[in-house]
Amino acid sequence: MDRYAFGVDVGGTTVKMGFFTAEGELLGKWEIPTDISEYGVHIIPDIAQEIREKLAASGLSSEDVIGVGLGVPGPVDADGNILHCVNLGWGTFNLEAAMTRATGIPCKAGNDADVAALGEIYKGSASKYRTVVLLTLGTGVGGGIIIDGRILPGTFGAAGEIGHMNMKEDETDFCGCGHQGCLEQYASASGIVRMARLNMARTDVDTVLRQCKSVTSKDIFDAARDGDEFSRDLVEEVCKTLGLACARISTVVDPEAYIFGGGMSKAGNIITNTVEKYYNRYAFHIGAKFLLAKLGNDAGIWGAVKLVFDSF
């Protein structure tokens, strides 16, 4: 009997769903809006409904499904407990048990950045590696740590919260987490825009960015590529911060490779090359590879289904 699996990536705006064979072939993928109203109480029933409909349309039942893998934007511990997930309105409960109750199918859940990292190891740019750190440079900086092919969840589900590594003790601005000096205040897509604004306000140096109505991280990387000195300096500064953060990470877990994903990583090799340059300045032992993520928005569903294959 053929068997199947679902890989589900729950974001703050959309839920990405993938339907796979037991051999890991992607049969179909689609999205639904994330309904975060009423503290996210509809999210699990909505996903369960999609699964039921997909199975009915395929003439299958829940017994034909190995499991449902879930990536969510918050800390998940090794037992499947979600420990507050502000983006979805969720508090603390056992996510795996709740999804299994809703679908009658075994469920394995993980933090979205961890799950995306697993996806990149399974089918993406890290497929040659077993121990990697993924950094997603988006609105924040997400981090996923894979040790010997498995997600490291951490005691409080907070392993890989690299975006909140303190990089600057005397920072006066606050991070969304309430601390000051977090990596994502400098090195996310929002962070680099924040830095550009600060540097423009602080000086009267000439830069094409002053002509942008609302500067984006793409504007900054484009301008740097076109020779705008202000933007080039800023890219160097941000990549230096990332290189220093990676050097610190390596003194802890010493991975084979760092993978950069998220919107800002679309700037391409300028990021990996510049981060590696500064990494080599700060690292105790050089040798880790610096790569761009390959799966883009699909990393989550691939990693989520890999969770299923690794768990059931």
Minimum CB–partner distance for residue 284 and its own copies (Å): 4
Q: Any contact of residue 282 with its own copies (CB under 8 A)?
A: yes
Verify binding: residue 255, its own copies, rule CB under 8 A: yes
Least distance in angstroms from the C-beta of 105 to its own copies: 27
Selected from 251, 268, 269, 273, the binder of its own copies by CB under 8 A is: 251
Strand partners, 10: 15
**Does the protein bind its own copies through residue 248 (CB under 8 A)?**
yes
Applying the rule CB under 8 A, the residues between 168 and 207 that interact with its own copies are 169, 177, 179, 182
| Residue span binding its own copies (CB under 8 A) among the ranges 26-34, 94-102, 212-220, 248-256 | 248-256
Q: Which one, 97 or 147, has the nearer CB to its own copies?
A: 147
- Min dist CB 310 to its own copies, Å, is 15
Write down the least CB distance from residue 164 to its own copies, Å: 4
Per CB under 8 A, which of residues 148..167 are in contact with its own copies? 152-166
Buried b or exposed e, range 61-72, using 16+ CB within 10 angstroms: eeebbbbbbbbb
- Among positions 115-154, residues that touch its own copies (CB under 8 A) are 131, 143, 145, 147, 152-154
Among 117, 126, 249, 295, binds its own copies (CB under 8 A): 249
Span 204-233, contacts to its own copies by CB under 8 A: none
Map residues 46-75 to x or -, x wherever contact with its own copies holds by CB under 8 A: -----------------------------x
Site for its own copies contains 100 (CB under 8 A): no
Does 288 engage in binding with its own copies (CB under 8 A)?
yes
First-to-last CA distance in the chain? 16
Report the nearest approach of its own copies to the CB of residue 237 (Å). Answer: 12
Minimum gap (Å) between residue 244 Cβ and its own copies = 6
Question: Phi and psi at residue 92, in whole multiples of 5°?
Answer: -115, 120
**Structure tokens given for 170:** 């005397």
Total residues contacting its own copies (rule CB under 8 A)? Answer: 40
Read off the tokens for 250: 């390596």
| Residues of this chain that bind its own copies (CB under 8 A) | 75, 131, 143, 145, 147, 152-166, 169, 177, 179, 182, 244, 247-256, 282, 284-285, 287-288
